Amino acid sequence: MRKHIRKHTGDKPFICQYCQAHFAENTTLKKHISVKHVEDNVLCRNCSSSFEKSDALNHCKTCLHVGRPNIDYKFVCFACDYHTHLNQAMQFHIRRHTGERPYKCNYCHYSSKQPNDLKRHVKTRHFTLFQH
């Protein structure tokens, strides 16, 4: 109910610690910080090297400081114990750590890490757009 009231009052109690921008919802503030203020580099816990988020998949495949006892270890996460032999599974997993949400809704500000999450969102939140 408080969120709804804020829409009418214009109250924006959540303030960004980096640029003092104001937001009506905490989730919007968190998204703002992740998009505007988080650096594009990540750190590998296995070898301590720093690399751009865009290079994370390649690093998970080529890091020399992790054991790869079988094919299931083709990709080993730079930030946790997760491993897989599937390229796409690792891409989706990496987004858990980087916060990347490349799948954007055409009807609102929603974004997701996986395409199926976006499809589900559109079907449940914007279903009236598709009714005749």
Query: Residue 18 belongs to what domain range?
Result: 1-38
Mean pLDDT for the chain overall: 87
77 and 50, same structural domain?
Answer: yes
Quick one: pLDDT at residue 24?
Answer: 87
Quick one: pLDDT at residue 25?
Answer: 86
d(CA 23, CA 35): 14
4: domain CATH number is 3.30.160.60
Cβ atoms 54, 102 nearer than 8 A: no
Angle, CA of 38, 40 and 41, to the nearest 5°: 110
69 and 45, same structural domain?
Answer: yes
DSSP 42: E
Report how many domains make up the chain: 3
pLDDT digits (tens, 9 = 90+) for 27-81: 888 777 666 766 677 888 999 887 888 899 999 999 999 989 898 899 999 999 9
